[in-house]
C-alpha cells in the first residue's frame, strides 16, 4: 500500500529539511511538498529532499488538497513542516489501516520543549482527541485516499479545516488514535505564552462547535496574535 506524505509549507526553511529527512523511507513512501508562496529558501531546500514540490494558493486546506490531488499513494498522511514522524511510521499506519472499517487516524504528540507544563499539554491534547475522535493537524492525520475523496477532502476554510475533516471522516468509518508519537515544535507556545495559547485555541474550538464561521474565527485568531 503506497503512502504519500503531504507537507504544506510557508516560510519553513529552518524546519523543512529535518522534517523531510525524518520522513524519507525507501520503497512505497512518496514525499510531496506543497508551498503556499514562501519568501525564503523553503522551496530550494525541499526540492532535493522531496519527490515532488508543488505550488498552490496559500492556506493549509488548499495546499493539502492540491497535494492529495497530485499524490500517487492509496494512503495520504498530512504532515506539518515542523513535525517529525516516528521511525517506523509506514508500518504503524499500515497496521492501523488493516481493519476494513478504519478510514484513518492520527498519532499522539510530543512537544520539543522541556518542562512539566509541556508534558501536561501533550497529555491533554491526546485525551481530548481520544474523547472526541477529532485530531488537529500537528498530530499527522492519515487517511485512505478513497475516504478522503468521498468526504470531499479538506473544506476550503481558513481555520479548523483539520477538525472539519475529522468530523466528516468519523461519519465515513472508524478513526484510530495511535499512542506512538510525532514530535512537533513548541514554538507557538513559546512565542505566544503557554496559558494564552491554550486559552485561545480552546476558545476558538468551542466557538467553532457553537457554529461561529471559520472565517470569523480566523480573523479573531489573527487579531489575538
- Residue 126 sits in a domain whose CATH number is 3.90.550.10
> According to the model, what pLDDT value does residue 202 have?
79
Cα separation values, 21 from 5, 28, 86, 150, 202, Å = 12, 16, 12, 31, 32
The per-residue pLDDT of the chain, averaged, comes to: 92
Low-confidence ranges of the chain (pLDDT < 70): 223-225
Cα separation values, 23 from 17, 85, 131, 216, Å = 10, 6, 28, 35
Q: Which segments of 74-160 does DSSP mark as H helices, in order?
A: 89-96, 116-132, 145-150
Spatial strand order in the sheet of 102-111: 52-55, 29-35, 3-9, 75-78, 142-144, 102-111, 174-184, 83-84
> According to the model, what pLDDT value does residue 218 have?
75
Q: What's the structural domain count of the chain?
A: 1
> According to the model, what pLDDT value does residue 223 have?
66
Domain extent, residue 84, equals: 3-224
> According to the model, what pLDDT value does residue 193 have?
82
Neighbours of 146 (CB within 10 A): 11
pTM value surpassing 0.75: yes
Per-residue pLDDT of 72-115, as tens digits, reads 999 999 999 999 999 999 999 999 999 999 999 999 999 999 99
Amino acid at each position: 500500500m503506497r503512502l504519500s506524505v503531504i507537507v504544506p509549507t510557508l516560510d519553513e526553511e529552518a524546519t523543512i529539511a529535518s522534517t523531510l529527512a525524518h520522513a524519507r523511507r525507501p520503497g512505497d513512501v512518496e514525499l510531496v511538498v506543497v508551498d503556499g508562496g514562501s519568501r525564503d529558501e523553503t522551496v530550494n531546500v525541499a526540492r532535493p529532499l522531496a519527490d515532488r514540490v508543488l505550488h498552490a494558493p496559500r492556506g493549509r486546506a488548499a495546499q493539502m488538497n492540491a497535494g492529495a490531488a497530485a499524490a500517487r499513494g492509496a494512503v495520504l498522511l498530512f504532515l506539518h513542516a515542523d513535525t517529525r514522524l516516528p521511525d517506523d511510521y509506514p508500518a504503524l499506519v499500515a497496521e492501523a489501516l488493516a481493519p476494513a472499517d478504519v478510514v484513518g487516524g492520527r498519532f499522539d504528540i510530543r512537544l520539543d520543549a522541556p518542562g512539566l507544563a509541556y508534558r501536561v499539554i501533550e497529555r491533554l491534547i491526546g485525551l481530548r482527541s481520544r474523547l472526541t475522535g477529532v485530531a488537529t493537524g500537528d498530530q499527522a492525520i492519515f487517511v485512505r485516499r478513497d475516504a478522503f475523496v468521498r468526504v470531499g477532502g479538506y473544506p476550503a476554510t481558513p481555520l479548523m479545516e483539520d477538525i472539519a475533516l475529522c468530523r466528516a471522516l468519523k461519519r465515513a468509518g472508524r478513526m484510530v488514535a495511535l499512542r506512538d508519537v510525532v514530535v512537533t515544535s513548541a514554538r507557538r507556545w513559546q512565542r505566544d505564552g503557554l496559558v494564552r495559547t491554550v486559552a485561545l485555541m480552546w476558545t476558538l474550538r468551542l466557538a467553532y462547535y457553537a457554529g461561529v464561521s471559520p472565517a470569523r474565527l480566523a480573523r479573531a485568531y489573527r487579531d489575538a496574535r
